[in-house]
C-alpha cells in the first residue's frame, strides 16, 4: 500500500471514530496474584491515560465465531472497538463505559497500520450496583 492510500485510510478511520466518539480509560492488569487459598485472582490494574475510540455492535447471525478482517481473524463478540492506529490497547485490558464493564478479548494485528480494531466483551455493571 502506498503512503497516499494509508493517509486516506487513517483519515477515514478518524472521521468514523469522531462521528460517535467515546472517551475511555483502559485498566491494564499487572498480573495474577496468588490468593490465601492457593489459587490466583486478578491483580491490581494500572489506569492508562484517556483515549478516544468508538464502540460498535457486531452482531452477526449464522457465523462460526470469528470475524474475518483483512490482516487476520478476531474472536466474535457482541461489540467491536475501533480507534486510530496510535491507540494503546492489549488483550485483557478492561474499561468501564456508561457504568458497564468491558474487556478486550482480541486485537487485530497492526499489519496495515490504518486503525486499531479489537473485539470486546460485555460484562455488565459491578456486583452490588
pLDDT in tens, 19-75: 999 999 999 888 777 777 777 776 678 888 999 999 988 765 555 566 667 767 766
Span 97-105, mean pLDDT? 89
**Helix/strand/coil for 33:** strand
CATH class belonging to 3-29+41-124: mainly beta
Tell me the C-alpha distance between 127 and 129, whole Å: 6
Measure the CA–CA gap between 107 and 91, rounded to whole angstroms.
7
Lowest-confidence segment of 4-8, 77-81, 88-92, 96-100 by average pLDDT: 77-81
Q: Say how far apart CA 26 and CA 118 lie, in whole Å.
A: 13
C-alpha dist (Å) from residue 2 to 19, 36, 72:
26, 56, 20
CB environment 1-29: b (16+ within 10 A), e (fewer): eeeeeeeebbeebeeebeeeeeebebbeb
CA distances from residue 119 to 5, 8, 10, 105 in whole angstroms, order as listed:
25, 24, 20, 6
Amino acid at each position: 500500500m502506498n503512503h497516499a492510500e494509508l493517509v486516506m485510510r487513517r483519515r477515514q478511520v478518524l472521521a468514523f471514530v469522531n462521528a460517535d466518539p467515546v472517551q475511555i480509560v483502559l485498566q491494564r492488569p499487572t498480573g495474577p496474584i496468588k490468593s490465601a487459598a492457593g489459587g490466583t485472582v486478578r491483580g491490581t490494574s494500572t489506569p492508562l491515560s484517556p483515549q478516544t475510540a468508538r464502540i460498535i455492535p457486531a452482531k452477526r447471525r449464522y457465523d462460526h465465531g470469528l470475524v474475518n478482517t483483512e490482516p487476520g481473524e478476531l474472536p466474535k463478540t457482541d461489540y467491536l472497538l475501533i480507534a486510530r492506529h496510535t491507540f494503546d490497547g492489549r488483550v485483557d485490558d478492561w474499561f468501564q463505559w456508561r457504568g458497564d464493564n468491558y474487556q478486550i478479548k482480541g486485537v487485530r494485528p497492526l499489519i496495515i497500520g490504518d486503525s486499531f480494531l479489537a473485539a470486546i466483551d460485555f460484562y455488565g455493571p459491578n456486583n452490588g450496583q
